[in-house]
A and B are shown apart, each in its own frame.
Chain A
């Protein structure tokens, strides 16, 4: 009999990674919008994700629902602990989501929907980073319930992780746009990409140093022998990915900047998982403490194991249908 809590933790970790990667690049487009004031170019940028953004965001809903199903205590305690950032984040996502709908239809008010898209993307991203930081810092739980105060989530560390996620999503967005655009727009993305890569290196390094300073248990995990030796290639890999982003952008290779940005984010994400395992609410609640009744985990798992491969297949199909470049003037929407 295998451990359902571990399987579910794996599924949720996978769902969150899918979300970060997929909604990451489309939120990133909103973050990059201010640097590209030309309306026709903004149209192109938005159109590269228009057919898929809804599916991308669904991974976040899956994360919440899977948590609710497999670890309801975590869903209850973490969401009430992070009450304000979560509600403000979903409100920011409302503005961003409807901007997709309204921006192309507006004439006089188009700049307002541009602003809704920009600020919706920036605030949602920043708050996701704040949520991440607050989560890493730990949530005060007594008797399965949140027992802290309303503003526990707000700290210099959580604000900094907010900035780090902004940089990471912007880089993903830039890498995506290199793939999906052409000519002068793509050229400027190539110029922007190395800067974002370096910024990402700096912010990730800061978070990596700050986290163990803050949290002795995480420091113990990384800096005691023999783990230290196992993990020692990680900084080398990070440096190598950043260099590869820089080089591929210089050589104007389209796919590599996006792939190596994904590599950097994957490394950071695996570091995050290694730091916390097996805690699902740091610092003290493990996945087994928080597990739903076995019958809940088992019932939902049947659906997850059947459906996730099917979902991946038709998500892939949707991306394939809309493969290729998006050009200025495509669609003739004026």
Chain B
């Protein structure tokens, strides 16, 4: 079961695998919960049924993502102990309370109000239901706050002492608000909202391409693009600031991200657009770059000095080959998101937003770009802080549990199989719901009276009637139902 790898390598793969799968779902939950709160708030304020119908549509997708996030998250909360017990023993005094605060202030809040949000439409009044939605949305953000505080502390540890072979917290304010935390939190929060906005925009684009031009499709497409217009450039600015923070506190990571080996003394550092960092040869091969731009971005002067990777002992260097590229994938996709936003503004101005199939195809293609750049960003920061699990304090290799490679290999294989099957089905189902698209409710008279949805969706978590498998007989009828509502 060891696959020829050591227990350490297997445990690292296992962590990377389980956390990469996991992060997809909370990212959707955070963004969609916010979107749902906005939709429900607008519905309460304007009584425009479009908002309510969109709410009832996106809550199904939210429910699936949330469920996946919960079950994959339980795995994470135990993995620190099962696979990384030396880390837990050494640093539990700091990371334990942060995780406890996440559970106490966020997990219970989300779980407590999720039931009302998903199944309580007919059981509580509209304001109480909106309150439940708000609590779930706030809960997802509080959860992000604590887990990113914990992660950031591991990247830029502060406010602690080491006594008797373990970490002792000294200043909790300094621990929670450690130097990289504000940047990482802002960067991740924007990422989560961008991921969801791109998903909503792509869903709208799909239905525009299929010929739907009704208010539901237009409204969601338009709302998502407004968010992208604002958030994508903001994200670039926050990312830039985050990079400067990394330069200050984790210079080896930054050098790896830039494929920068030699410290530039007296001359400007170029910004590499392409290259293949070679860890053995200690150089970046085939590089194509723009002179002085690296110095300009990182130091705000034309020939500012930036430490190269060779300043660090080989055993202290992160893998630049991975980090260089994961960083470029993230930035490249981020720039495309800005382009998407800018074009949407232009099309909106010329009133062609809903009538430009090439743009809809672009938006559709960008649907998954949020996830890819999210993962690429996390790979950059997590691979980039190696070989440290707590930066400069504890090496990853010293964090492992006393477990055998056989055990870790076996559980890794199980995780891979289970995750692909279970979360594969979940993702398939989410895609199917997106393909199905939002539909108009049929009992608007009742809803105008403020009673709410006509059905009690008592089934677990989500309120969808859409079967998990394709059913040839139902698809055409649902299509024809859509066409009834087209406004063309």
Residues of A at the B interface (CB closer than 8 Å) are 43, 46-47, 50-55, 57-58, 60-62, 64-70, 72-73, 75-80, 82-84, 86-88, 90-91, 93-95, 97-98, 100-109, 144-147, 150, 292-293, 295-296, 299-300, 303-304, 307-308, 311, 314-315, 317-318, 321-322, 326, 330-333
Contacts and interface: CB of A to CB of B under 8 A. Distances in A.
B467 A107 contact: yes
Interface of B: 63-64, 67-68, 70-75, 77-78, 80-83, 85-86, 88-89, 91-97, 99-105, 107-109, 111-116, 118-120, 123-124, 163, 166-170, 172, 401-404, 406-407, 411, 414-415, 418, 422, 425-426, 429, 455-462, 464-469, 471
A297 B212 CA distance: 57
Given A98-B67, A332-B455, A307 B82 contact: no
A305 to B, nearest CB: 10
A98 B111 contact: no
5 contacts: A65-B99, A68-B100, A105-B466, A144-B89, A311-B112
A116 B422 CA distance: 10
Contact of A304 (B77, B104, B425, B464): B104
Contacts of B105: 303, 307
- Max chain A CB contacts within 10 Å: which of B64, B81, B97? B97
A77 B77 contact: no
- Max chain A CB contacts within 10 Å: which of B93, B94, B402, B418? B93
Nearest to A103: B460
A91 B415 contact: yes
Contact of A101 (B93, B116, B426): B426
Contacts of A333: 457-459, 465
B401 A83 contact: yes
A331 to B, nearest CB: 3
Contact of A293 (B81, B93, B113): B93
B71 A93 contact: yes
A318 B82 contact: no
B425 to A, nearest CB: 6
A94 B18 CA distance: 13
A315 B96 contact: no
Given A55-B111, A326-B458, A105 B92 contact: no
B89 A77 contact: yes
A36 B403 CA distance: 41
Contacts of B426: 98, 101-102
Contacts of A52: 115
Contact of B96 (A60, A69, A331): A69
Contacts of A317: 112
Contacts of A78: 81
Contact of A95 (B115, B422, B456, B468): B422
A80 B97 contact: no
Given A64-B77, A69-B96, A72-B88, A101 B461 contact: yes
A323 B102 CA distance: 28
B414 A296 contact: no
Contacts of B89: 72-73, 76-77, 144-145
Given A80-B85, A83-B403, A69 B460 contact: no
Contacts of A90: 74-75, 78
A33 to B, nearest CB: 14
Nearest to B411: A87
B473 to A, nearest CB: 11
Contact of B457 (A72, A304, A331): A331
B81 A51 contact: no
A146 B402 CA distance: 7
Contact of B82 (A86, A107, A300): A86
B92 A76 contact: yes
- Max chain B CB contacts within 10 Å: which of A46, A52, A78, A293? A293
A165 to B, nearest CB: 18
A29 B258 CA distance: 55
Contacts of B167: 293
A256 B49 CA distance: 46
Contacts of A93: 71, 74
B459 A50 contact: yes
A331 B123 CA distance: 13
A177 to B, nearest CB: 16
Given A50-B460, A300-B101, A91 B414 contact: yes
A101 B462 contact: yes
A62 B99 CA distance: 9
A53 B460 CA distance: 9
A100 B67 CA distance: 9
Given A105-B429, A150-B403, A321-B120, A80 B81 contact: yes
